[in-house]
Structure 1
């Protein structure tokens, strides 16, 4: 069973410099990078935990308490959906705009609402924790929120790009190209 949200669009990995936006369908939402090893490892641990919880639900159901097994089965479904949502998190682009998928909320900004997308050297959160380190961040400046400051899309020390500086540069360049192509002047 193919999992399209797990793999990046193969067109972004092309080395042909003649094509600024190597894509076939501009309307489809796509993530211009692969999920990082930290994100995949966390999802794998969650799925491993879910398999144990599912096994516990089967054992509880065989012992005769179907209602308790149903509750445990529901918990395993929550863990599985959390792992899948963890894999889906990130920045997605299409001709309609830029979408930032978080764990609990998704925000979409149309390209005409984007003032700038740029890379900045700044203190960033390490793996999303409160500790900050010096790194690079891809920031989004919106036209309607100038006083709030730029929103951070992803960083070099996030779950997708920790110790993968080349992948960060490729992903940031791809998002900046999409912004330059579709953003209103």
Structure 2
């Protein structure tokens, strides 16, 4: 294993703590955005309902007036049409709701990717094992690290890859950096399945 200076280790811990705080803030922002998007979805549905009722009312009024005109003798009835500024406001609101719907789709894609990592078989490069669970090298909230209990040890792995070739390439880079003991392992549902052939 390569030797790490104590000051470098402290800097690494500080960077990890900063990343963890940033990740927690991002998760809080995602939760807030989800609440906001749910509220906007409800508002959009209400607006769509009100707009539909409004348009049906206008259509019914038009049909009623057309029926009266055709049955009554022509007495120079003039149909008065009002300019509806509210239609522009409704169009603007609908455009705004479309943008918010796109943001909701992005948040949904984030959660789908996270679910994919939990359910699908992934590959990661294990670089270290520990007897105790008191290691603060990684946080479970960081997406590219795995800290998994493999009896009786706790293993620390880097990277989440869909294919074994990507993981092997990453392992090769780590070996060139001095992590000679690094190896590729497959994981599913947060548990190690097996140690893979490194070549």
TM-score for both structures, normalised by structure 2: 0.34
Q: Which has the higher helix share?
A: 2
Q: Which has the higher strand share?
A: 1
TM-score for both structures, normalised by structure 1: 0.35
